[in-house]
Amino acid sequence: MGKTILVETSARHVHVSEADLAILFGEGYTLTNKKDLSQPGQFACVEKITVVGPKGETKMSILGPTRGKTQVEVSLTDARSLGIKALIRESGDIEGTAGCKLVGPAGEVELSCGVIAAKRHIHMTSADAKEFGVQDKDVVSVKVDTADRSLTFGDVICRVSDSYALAMHIDTDEANAAAIAGPCQGEIIK
Amino acid sequence: MGKTILVETSARHVHVSEADLAILFGEGYTLTNKKDLSQPGQFACVEKITVVGPKGETKMSILGPTRGKTQVEVSLTDARSLGIKALIRESGDIEGTAGCKLVGPAGEVELSCGVIAAKRHIHMTSADAKEFGVQDKDVVSVKVDTADRSLTFGDVICRVSDSYALAMHIDTDEANAAAIAGPCQGEIIK
Protein backbone atom coordinates (compact mmCIF):
# COMPACT_ATOMS: atom_id res chain seq x y z
CA MET A 1 0.00 0.00 0.00
CA GLY A 2 1.27 3.48 -0.88
CA LYS A 3 0.67 6.73 0.93
CA THR A 4 -2.67 6.80 2.74
CA ILE A 5 -5.08 9.64 3.52
CA LEU A 6 -6.72 10.60 6.79
CA VAL A 7 -10.50 10.19 6.38
CA GLU A 8 -12.44 12.71 8.46
CA THR A 9 -16.18 12.79 9.09
CA SER A 10 -18.00 16.11 8.87
CA ALA A 11 -21.21 16.23 10.87
CA ARG A 12 -23.96 18.64 9.74
CA HIS A 13 -22.87 22.26 9.99
CA VAL A 14 -23.40 25.76 8.65
CA HIS A 15 -21.06 28.31 7.03
CA VAL A 16 -22.37 31.86 7.36
CA SER A 17 -21.76 35.07 5.45
CA GLU A 18 -20.86 38.28 7.33
CA ALA A 19 -24.28 39.75 6.49
CA ASP A 20 -26.21 36.69 7.74
CA LEU A 21 -24.04 36.50 10.88
CA ALA A 22 -25.02 40.10 11.69
CA ILE A 23 -28.72 39.22 11.33
CA LEU A 24 -28.49 35.95 13.29
CA PHE A 25 -26.27 37.16 16.15
CA GLY A 26 -26.42 40.96 15.95
CA GLU A 27 -24.47 43.75 14.25
CA GLY A 28 -20.70 43.54 14.77
CA TYR A 29 -20.78 40.00 16.16
CA THR A 30 -17.68 37.84 15.61
CA LEU A 31 -17.49 34.02 15.70
CA THR A 32 -15.80 32.29 18.63
CA ASN A 33 -13.21 29.60 17.83
CA LYS A 34 -14.02 26.46 19.81
CA LYS A 35 -11.60 24.12 18.04
CA ASP A 36 -9.26 24.30 15.05
CA LEU A 37 -10.07 21.90 12.21
CA SER A 38 -7.60 20.00 10.04
CA GLN A 39 -7.80 22.54 7.21
CA PRO A 40 -5.58 25.55 8.05
CA GLY A 41 -7.61 28.56 9.23
CA GLN A 42 -10.89 26.63 9.56
CA PHE A 43 -12.47 26.20 12.98
CA ALA A 44 -15.58 24.88 14.73
CA CYS A 45 -17.40 27.68 16.54
CA VAL A 46 -19.07 27.90 19.92
CA GLU A 47 -22.08 29.41 18.14
CA LYS A 48 -25.00 27.24 17.06
CA ILE A 49 -28.10 28.07 15.07
CA THR A 50 -31.31 26.25 14.30
CA VAL A 51 -31.89 25.06 10.74
CA VAL A 52 -35.61 24.83 9.99
CA GLY A 53 -37.11 22.78 7.17
CA PRO A 54 -40.71 21.90 6.24
CA LYS A 55 -40.66 18.70 8.32
CA GLY A 56 -38.31 19.41 11.21
CA GLU A 57 -35.55 21.49 12.69
CA THR A 58 -32.04 20.75 13.91
CA LYS A 59 -29.48 22.73 15.89
CA MET A 60 -26.18 22.92 14.03
CA SER A 61 -22.72 24.27 14.74
CA ILE A 62 -21.27 27.08 12.67
CA LEU A 63 -17.85 26.54 11.10
CA GLY A 64 -15.69 29.64 10.78
CA PRO A 65 -14.40 31.89 9.42
CA THR A 66 -17.32 33.60 7.64
CA ARG A 67 -17.61 32.95 3.90
CA GLY A 68 -18.97 34.78 0.89
CA LYS A 69 -22.22 32.79 0.90
CA THR A 70 -24.14 31.04 3.66
CA GLN A 71 -24.27 27.27 3.16
CA VAL A 72 -25.83 24.43 5.16
CA GLU A 73 -24.12 21.03 4.88
CA VAL A 74 -26.21 18.02 5.89
CA SER A 75 -26.24 14.28 5.39
CA LEU A 76 -29.07 12.88 3.29
CA THR A 77 -30.46 11.39 6.54
CA ASP A 78 -30.50 14.91 8.06
CA ALA A 79 -32.12 16.28 4.90
CA ARG A 80 -34.92 13.75 5.15
CA SER A 81 -35.62 14.69 8.80
CA LEU A 82 -35.73 18.35 7.82
CA GLY A 83 -37.94 17.61 4.81
CA ILE A 84 -35.43 19.18 2.43
CA LYS A 85 -34.18 17.64 -0.81
CA ALA A 86 -30.42 18.27 -0.55
CA LEU A 87 -28.49 18.01 -3.79
CA ILE A 88 -24.99 16.54 -3.72
CA ARG A 89 -22.69 19.43 -4.50
CA GLU A 90 -19.16 20.67 -4.00
CA SER A 91 -18.82 23.31 -1.30
CA GLY A 92 -19.69 26.76 -2.66
CA ASP A 93 -21.67 25.42 -5.64
CA ILE A 94 -25.10 26.22 -4.28
CA GLU A 95 -26.98 27.71 -7.24
CA GLY A 96 -30.29 25.93 -7.72
CA THR A 97 -30.11 24.07 -4.39
CA ALA A 98 -32.86 24.05 -1.78
CA GLY A 99 -33.23 26.77 0.83
CA CYS A 100 -34.29 26.75 4.48
CA LYS A 101 -34.79 29.06 7.45
CA LEU A 102 -31.96 29.79 9.91
CA VAL A 103 -32.80 30.96 13.42
CA GLY A 104 -30.21 32.66 15.63
CA PRO A 105 -30.46 34.43 18.97
CA ALA A 106 -30.82 37.87 17.33
CA GLY A 107 -32.79 37.12 14.18
CA GLU A 108 -33.81 34.86 11.35
CA VAL A 109 -32.59 34.41 7.79
CA GLU A 110 -34.65 32.86 4.99
CA LEU A 111 -32.18 31.22 2.57
CA SER A 112 -33.42 30.85 -1.00
CA CYS A 113 -30.70 28.25 -1.62
CA GLY A 114 -27.66 26.78 0.13
CA VAL A 115 -28.60 23.39 1.58
CA ILE A 116 -26.30 20.70 0.19
CA ALA A 117 -24.97 17.24 0.93
CA ALA A 118 -21.25 17.70 0.35
CA LYS A 119 -19.72 15.77 -2.52
CA ARG A 120 -16.97 13.66 -1.00
CA HIS A 121 -13.55 15.11 -1.63
CA ILE A 122 -9.89 15.08 -0.73
CA HIS A 123 -8.05 18.24 0.26
CA MET A 124 -4.42 18.02 -0.78
CA THR A 125 -1.40 20.20 -1.44
CA SER A 126 0.31 20.30 -4.83
CA ALA A 127 3.08 18.13 -3.36
CA ASP A 128 0.51 15.53 -2.27
CA ALA A 129 -1.15 15.68 -5.70
CA LYS A 130 2.19 15.03 -7.39
CA GLU A 131 2.86 12.09 -5.12
CA PHE A 132 -0.58 10.59 -5.86
CA GLY A 133 -0.29 11.38 -9.57
CA VAL A 134 -3.52 13.39 -9.62
CA GLN A 135 -4.58 16.94 -10.47
CA ASP A 136 -7.14 19.39 -9.14
CA LYS A 137 -10.72 18.22 -9.97
CA ASP A 138 -9.61 14.65 -10.77
CA VAL A 139 -12.12 12.02 -9.67
CA VAL A 140 -10.71 9.02 -7.82
CA SER A 141 -11.89 6.13 -5.67
CA VAL A 142 -10.80 5.68 -2.08
CA LYS A 143 -10.77 2.33 -0.30
CA VAL A 144 -11.38 2.21 3.43
CA ASP A 145 -10.85 -1.05 5.32
CA THR A 146 -12.90 -1.54 8.45
CA ALA A 147 -13.86 -4.62 10.47
CA ASP A 148 -17.44 -5.03 9.26
CA ARG A 149 -18.15 -2.57 6.47
CA SER A 150 -15.16 -2.04 4.19
CA LEU A 151 -16.02 0.32 1.35
CA THR A 152 -14.59 1.83 -1.77
CA PHE A 153 -15.92 5.33 -2.24
CA GLY A 154 -16.21 6.29 -5.91
CA ASP A 155 -16.79 9.83 -7.22
CA VAL A 156 -14.25 11.41 -4.86
CA ILE A 157 -13.08 14.84 -6.08
CA CYS A 158 -9.45 15.85 -5.60
CA ARG A 159 -9.13 19.49 -4.51
CA VAL A 160 -5.58 20.76 -4.75
CA SER A 161 -4.33 23.92 -3.04
CA ASP A 162 -1.23 24.70 -1.02
CA SER A 163 -3.53 26.23 1.60
CA TYR A 164 -4.95 22.75 2.31
CA ALA A 165 -3.81 19.88 4.52
CA LEU A 166 -4.17 16.31 3.28
CA ALA A 167 -7.54 14.91 4.40
CA MET A 168 -10.58 13.28 2.84
CA HIS A 169 -13.96 14.57 4.00
CA ILE A 170 -17.10 12.45 4.12
CA ASP A 171 -20.44 12.98 5.88
CA THR A 172 -21.97 10.96 8.70
CA ASP A 173 -24.01 8.69 6.39
CA GLU A 174 -20.86 7.84 4.48
CA ALA A 175 -18.89 7.25 7.70
CA ASN A 176 -21.66 5.00 9.04
CA ALA A 177 -21.84 3.05 5.77
CA ALA A 178 -18.18 2.17 6.34
CA ALA A 179 -18.63 1.82 10.14
CA ILE A 180 -15.83 4.32 10.61
CA ALA A 181 -15.41 5.19 14.27
CA GLY A 182 -12.52 7.48 15.03
CA PRO A 183 -9.37 8.10 13.01
CA CYS A 184 -9.24 6.13 9.78
CA GLN A 185 -7.00 5.96 6.71
CA GLY A 186 -8.02 5.53 3.09
CA GLU A 187 -6.11 4.51 0.00
CA ILE A 188 -6.55 6.12 -3.42
CA ILE A 189 -7.53 3.73 -6.20
CA LYS A 190 -7.54 5.43 -9.57
CA MET B 1 -21.52 -6.62 -16.98
CA GLY B 2 -23.03 -9.96 -15.94
CA LYS B 3 -26.20 -10.60 -13.98
CA THR B 4 -27.05 -7.74 -11.61
CA ILE B 5 -28.81 -7.68 -8.27
CA LEU B 6 -31.67 -5.50 -7.06
CA VAL B 7 -30.40 -3.37 -4.16
CA GLU B 8 -33.12 -2.65 -1.61
CA THR B 9 -32.96 -0.25 1.32
CA SER B 10 -34.30 -1.38 4.69
CA ALA B 11 -35.37 1.47 6.93
CA ARG B 12 -35.32 0.92 10.71
CA HIS B 13 -37.76 -1.77 11.81
CA VAL B 14 -38.52 -4.35 14.46
CA HIS B 15 -39.11 -8.10 14.32
CA VAL B 16 -41.11 -9.37 17.29
CA SER B 17 -41.50 -12.74 18.98
CA GLU B 18 -44.99 -14.15 19.67
CA ALA B 19 -44.48 -13.58 23.41
CA ASP B 20 -43.41 -9.95 23.00
CA LEU B 21 -46.23 -9.29 20.52
CA ALA B 22 -48.72 -10.49 23.16
CA ILE B 23 -47.24 -8.08 25.72
CA LEU B 24 -47.02 -5.12 23.32
CA PHE B 25 -50.42 -5.51 21.63
CA GLY B 26 -52.37 -7.86 23.92
CA GLU B 27 -52.92 -11.59 24.25
CA GLY B 28 -53.94 -13.29 21.00
CA TYR B 29 -53.06 -10.31 18.81
CA THR B 30 -52.00 -11.03 15.22
CA LEU B 31 -49.96 -8.77 12.91
CA THR B 32 -51.68 -7.03 10.00
CA ASN B 33 -50.00 -7.29 6.58
CA LYS B 34 -49.67 -3.82 5.07
CA LYS B 35 -47.39 -4.73 2.18
CA ASP B 36 -45.54 -7.82 0.99
CA LEU B 37 -41.74 -7.48 0.87
CA SER B 38 -39.40 -8.93 -1.75
CA GLN B 39 -38.53 -11.95 0.40
CA PRO B 40 -41.31 -14.56 0.14
CA GLY B 41 -43.58 -14.58 3.21
CA GLN B 42 -42.12 -11.40 4.70
CA PHE B 43 -44.33 -8.33 5.06
CA ALA B 44 -44.40 -4.81 6.47
CA CYS B 45 -47.08 -4.49 9.13
CA VAL B 46 -49.61 -1.80 9.90
CA GLU B 47 -48.46 -2.02 13.54
CA LYS B 48 -45.82 0.34 14.89
CA ILE B 49 -44.10 0.46 18.25
CA THR B 50 -41.84 2.96 19.97
CA VAL B 51 -38.20 2.02 20.50
CA VAL B 52 -36.77 3.83 23.51
CA GLY B 53 -33.05 4.35 24.14
CA PRO B 54 -31.12 6.38 26.72
CA LYS B 55 -31.01 9.47 24.48
CA GLY B 56 -34.18 9.33 22.42
CA GLU B 57 -37.06 7.34 21.05
CA THR B 58 -38.30 6.50 17.56
CA LYS B 59 -41.49 4.97 16.21
CA MET B 60 -40.72 1.95 14.03
CA SER B 61 -42.72 -0.42 11.86
CA ILE B 62 -42.90 -4.09 12.67
CA LEU B 63 -41.99 -6.57 9.94
CA GLY B 64 -43.86 -9.86 10.01
CA PRO B 65 -44.28 -12.71 10.50
CA THR B 66 -43.26 -13.11 14.16
CA ARG B 67 -39.84 -14.63 14.79
CA GLY B 68 -38.18 -16.67 17.50
CA LYS B 69 -36.47 -13.63 19.01
CA THR B 70 -37.34 -9.93 19.01
CA GLN B 71 -34.79 -7.84 17.10
CA VAL B 72 -34.51 -4.11 16.38
CA GLU B 73 -32.70 -3.16 13.15
CA VAL B 74 -31.44 0.42 12.95
CA SER B 75 -28.93 2.43 10.97
CA LEU B 76 -25.90 3.70 12.90
CA THR B 77 -27.41 7.20 12.53
CA ASP B 78 -30.61 5.94 14.23
CA ALA B 79 -28.53 4.23 16.93
CA ARG B 80 -26.77 7.50 17.73
CA SER B 81 -30.10 9.36 18.08
CA LEU B 82 -31.35 6.63 20.43
CA GLY B 83 -28.09 6.65 22.39
CA ILE B 84 -27.54 2.96 21.72
CA LYS B 85 -24.31 1.38 20.49
CA ALA B 86 -25.58 -0.96 17.77
CA LEU B 87 -23.20 -3.71 16.72
CA ILE B 88 -23.09 -4.74 13.07
CA ARG B 89 -24.52 -8.24 13.00
CA GLU B 90 -26.30 -10.68 10.74
CA SER B 91 -30.01 -10.98 11.41
CA GLY B 92 -30.70 -13.35 14.32
CA ASP B 93 -27.17 -13.09 15.75
CA ILE B 94 -28.07 -10.88 18.70
CA GLU B 95 -26.15 -12.39 21.63
CA GLY B 96 -24.14 -9.70 23.39
CA THR B 97 -25.81 -6.82 21.53
CA ALA B 98 -27.38 -3.80 23.22
CA GLY B 99 -30.93 -3.80 24.51
CA CYS B 100 -33.66 -1.15 24.63
CA LYS B 101 -37.24 -0.63 25.71
CA LEU B 102 -40.18 -1.29 23.37
CA VAL B 103 -43.49 0.43 23.98
CA GLY B 104 -46.71 -0.83 22.40
CA PRO B 105 -50.36 0.09 22.92
CA ALA B 106 -50.91 -2.72 25.46
CA GLY B 107 -47.58 -2.93 27.27
CA GLU B 108 -43.83 -2.54 27.39
CA VAL B 109 -40.95 -4.94 26.86
CA GLU B 110 -37.44 -4.40 28.21
CA LEU B 111 -35.04 -6.13 25.80
CA SER B 112 -31.71 -7.20 27.30
CA CYS B 113 -30.28 -7.49 23.77
CA GLY B 114 -31.43 -7.34 20.17
CA VAL B 115 -30.52 -3.92 18.74
CA ILE B 116 -28.33 -4.36 15.66
CA ALA B 117 -27.24 -2.58 12.51
CA ALA B 118 -27.74 -5.28 9.90
CA LYS B 119 -24.63 -6.55 8.16
CA ARG B 120 -25.20 -5.97 4.46
CA HIS B 121 -26.15 -9.12 2.65
CA ILE B 122 -27.57 -10.68 -0.49
CA HIS B 123 -30.48 -13.07 -0.41
CA MET B 124 -30.21 -15.57 -3.24
CA THR B 125 -31.48 -18.96 -4.33
CA SER B 126 -29.12 -21.88 -4.96
CA ALA B 127 -29.61 -21.30 -8.69
CA ASP B 128 -28.54 -17.65 -8.30
CA ALA B 129 -25.54 -18.72 -6.20
CA LYS B 130 -24.46 -21.16 -8.90
CA GLU B 131 -24.75 -18.46 -11.54
CA PHE B 132 -22.67 -16.03 -9.45
CA GLY B 133 -20.17 -18.75 -8.50
CA VAL B 134 -20.64 -18.17 -4.77
CA GLN B 135 -21.76 -20.21 -1.77
CA ASP B 136 -23.74 -19.53 1.39
CA LYS B 137 -21.73 -17.28 3.78
CA ASP B 138 -19.29 -16.17 1.06
CA VAL B 139 -18.21 -12.55 1.39
CA VAL B 140 -18.27 -10.48 -1.80
CA SER B 141 -18.15 -6.86 -2.89
CA VAL B 142 -20.99 -5.18 -4.74
CA LYS B 143 -20.55 -2.16 -6.99
CA VAL B 144 -23.36 0.34 -7.32
CA ASP B 145 -23.15 3.07 -9.95
CA THR B 146 -25.02 6.28 -9.21
CA ALA B 147 -24.71 9.82 -10.57
CA ASP B 148 -22.84 11.40 -7.66
CA ARG B 149 -21.84 8.75 -5.16
CA SER B 150 -20.88 5.47 -6.81
CA LEU B 151 -19.75 2.95 -4.23
CA THR B 152 -18.35 -0.53 -3.92
CA PHE B 153 -19.70 -2.18 -0.78
CA GLY B 154 -17.24 -4.64 0.72
CA ASP B 155 -18.08 -7.21 3.42
CA VAL B 156 -21.33 -8.28 1.80
CA ILE B 157 -22.50 -11.71 3.02
CA CYS B 158 -24.15 -14.10 0.57
CA ARG B 159 -27.12 -15.89 2.12
CA VAL B 160 -28.33 -18.79 0.03
CA SER B 161 -31.72 -20.47 0.43
CA ASP B 162 -34.37 -21.57 -2.03
CA SER B 163 -36.90 -19.75 0.14
CA TYR B 164 -35.24 -16.42 -0.78
CA ALA B 165 -35.64 -14.08 -3.75
CA LEU B 166 -32.56 -12.39 -5.22
CA ALA B 167 -32.02 -9.02 -3.51
CA MET B 168 -29.27 -7.17 -1.67
CA HIS B 169 -30.29 -5.42 1.55
CA ILE B 170 -28.61 -2.29 2.87
CA ASP B 171 -29.67 0.22 5.50
CA THR B 172 -30.52 3.90 5.03
CA ASP B 173 -27.00 5.15 5.85
CA GLU B 174 -25.58 2.82 3.23
CA ALA B 175 -28.22 3.87 0.67
CA ASN B 176 -27.50 7.56 1.37
CA ALA B 177 -23.75 7.02 1.09
CA ALA B 178 -24.41 5.82 -2.45
CA ALA B 179 -27.18 8.40 -3.06
CA ILE B 180 -29.50 5.56 -4.00
CA ALA B 181 -33.01 6.84 -4.58
CA GLY B 182 -35.47 4.24 -5.78
CA PRO B 183 -34.77 0.97 -7.57
CA CYS B 184 -31.08 0.29 -8.13
CA GLN B 185 -28.95 -2.57 -9.42
CA GLY B 186 -25.59 -3.75 -8.08
CA GLU B 187 -22.88 -5.93 -9.58
CA ILE B 188 -20.97 -8.59 -7.64
CA ILE B 189 -17.20 -8.13 -7.62
CA LYS B 190 -15.43 -11.04 -6.00
CB pairs under 8 A between A and B: 77
pLDDT level of residue A1 (50, 70, 90 thresholds): low
ipTM value for the complex: 0.95
B47 pLDDT above the threshold of 90: yes
Q: What percent of chain B has pLDDT over 70?
A: 99
DSSP H/E element including B177: helix B172-177
B152-171 confidence digits (pLDDT tens): 999 999 999 999 999 999 99
Residues in chain B: 190
- Closest CA in chain A for residue B171: A177
Question: pLDDT tier at B1 (50, 70, 90 boundaries)?
Answer: low
Q: Are A48 and A60 in contact (CB under 8 A)?
A: yes
For chain A, the residues whose C-beta falls within 8 A of a C-beta of chain B are 75-77, 88, 117, 119-120, 141, 145, 148-155, 172-174, 176-179
Q: In angstroms, rounded to a whole number, what is the distance separating the alpha carbons of residues B115 and B155?
A: 20
Those residues of chain B whose CB sits closer than 8 Å to some CB in chain A are 75-77, 88, 117, 119-120, 141, 145, 148-155, 172-174, 176-179
CA A47 centroid distance within chain: 17
Quote the CA–CA distance of B70 and B186 in Å, as a whole number.
30
Structure confidence by residue, pLDDT tens digits, A164-176 = 999 999 999 999 9
Mind giving me the DSSP string for A109-120?
Answer: EEEEEEEEEEPP
> Closest to A172 (Cβ–Cβ): which among B77, B120, B150?
B77
- Tell me the pLDDT tens digit for each residue of A20-31: 999 999 999 999
Cα of B88 to nearest chain A Cα, Å: 7
CA distance B114 to chain A (A): 18
Rounded mean pLDDT, B118-134: 97
Contact A153 B148 (CB under 8 A): no
Inter-chain touch B119–A179, beta carbons under 8 Å: no
DSSP, residue by residue, A6-47: EEEEEPSEEE-BHHHHHHHH-TT----EEEE-SSTT-EEEEE
Of A119, A154, A172, Cβ closest to residue B152: A154
- Chain B positions touching A173 (Cβ under 8 A) are 77, 172-173, 176-177
Cα–Cα distance, A132 to A2 (Å, whole number): 9
